[in-house]
Amino acid sequence: MKLSMIIPCYNEEKNVELFYERVKEVFADHNFEYEYIFINDGSSDQTYEVLKQLAQLHKESNITVLNFSRNFGKESAMYAGLKESIGEYALIIDADLQQDPAYALSMMEILDKSEEWDSVAAYQKERLEGKILRSFKKTFYHLINKISQVEFVDGASDFRLLRRSMVEAILSLPENNRFSKGIFSWVGFHTYYMPYDVHDRANGKSSWSFWKLMKYAIEGFVSFTTAPLRLATMLGILCSFVSFVYLFVVIMEKVLMKIEIPGYATVICLILLIGGIQLFCVGIMGEYLARTYLEAKHRPLFVQRNKIDYKNMK
Ligand code: UDP
Ligand code: MG
């Protein structure tokens, strides 16, 4: 098997068939073996039924459908798909046709041509997003690249082609809170960055809201750097230092200059400031503690309800 396509699907009933057809069309003139691994990530529409039909109708097409017991998120879906894949190359691609399967051919060519590369990551030349979101994402990448050891490339999506050795490396990371962009660069290897044009979604709407993205960004920070914990220490040291200086000033005023100090406003401000900083730091620690707690439970990344697999029945 040359290529395994991993396709996470969440409410994509109108897209999966189009996706299948598009792949057929672009791979038609090429002679290599490939498989589809669709992961139905607890869709609330008819995605599963459509996939089931598709698999039954095209038994010769190496279609596997993993059906999750509920929505576990794209990260879990990608993990499940990679685990299921057997191809020499694994391609992670969205079901909504925003990422044209035709790019897979140029990606494969890059890996075929040169042993030097272990993966090809497609990045968006231009983001099709609003200004605010774009600047938010820019700030995120700028910050995380400053404080984390692994490199995050702005605009690089999960749309990637991976060599088997890299797939094995990714699967060997057992963590539960997965931030793929970080994992891809943490495992190392040599990644070729290829620009691509994002299309509009074929049907349906994106499942990302601003808050979901925000949570995802925090996940990225907490998973790949412990720098925020150090920030707490730094703030503590800074506060203590300033307090000592201020204490010294107050004592001097009181003892040497005999100035009556009207302290009410100052006290209130300081209590609020210090209280705020303390809560902020406790919050940061809480984020890490919560992750530790979740990891310590060793829960599986996903639960599978059933699986359709005609590949092994042929
Ligand atoms: N997806 C998924 N589980 C989720 C959310 C999304 O498997 O909980 C899939 C979705 O079906 C699509 C891909 O992940 O194939 C990307 O999702 P989406 O198009 O919503 O994200 P965007 O393209 O806006 O980044
Ligand atoms: Mg999309």
CATH of the domain at 41: 3.90.550.10
In a domain, 272, yes or no: yes
Q: Is pLDDT larger for residue 220 or for residue 81? A: 81
CA of 11 to the centre of ligand 1 (A): 9
Same domain, 187 and 287: no
In a domain, 183, yes or no: yes
Q: What is the pLDDT of residue 51?
A: 94
CA of 208 to the centre of ligand 1 (A): 8
Would the pLDDT of 266 be above 80? no
In a domain, 221, yes or no: no
Kindly indicate the confidence band of residue 79, based on its pLDDT and cuts at 50, 70 and 90: very high
Rounded to the nearest 5°, which phi and psi values hold at 269? -60, -45
| Structural domains of the chain, count | 2
In a domain, 222, yes or no: no
Same domain, 19 and 126: yes
Nearest ligand 1 atom to the CA of 94 is 15
Q: What is the pLDDT of residue 313?
A: 64
Is any ligand 1 atom within 6 A of the Cβ of residue 96? Answer: yes
Same domain, 304 and 257: no
Same domain, 145 and 247: no
In a domain, 132, yes or no: yes
Q: Which domain holds residue 199?
A: 3-207+300-312
The per-residue pLDDT for range 108-134, each reduced to its tens digit, is 999 999 899 999 999 887 766 778 888
Residue 216's nearest CA partner among 185, 159, 177 is 177
Q: Please list, residue by residue across 179-191, b when 16 or more beta carbons sit within 10 angstroms of its beta carbon and e when fewer do.
A: bbbbbbbbbeeeb
Same domain, 280 and 308: no
Report the SS3 class of residue 309.
Answer: strand
Would the pLDDT of 178 be above 90? no
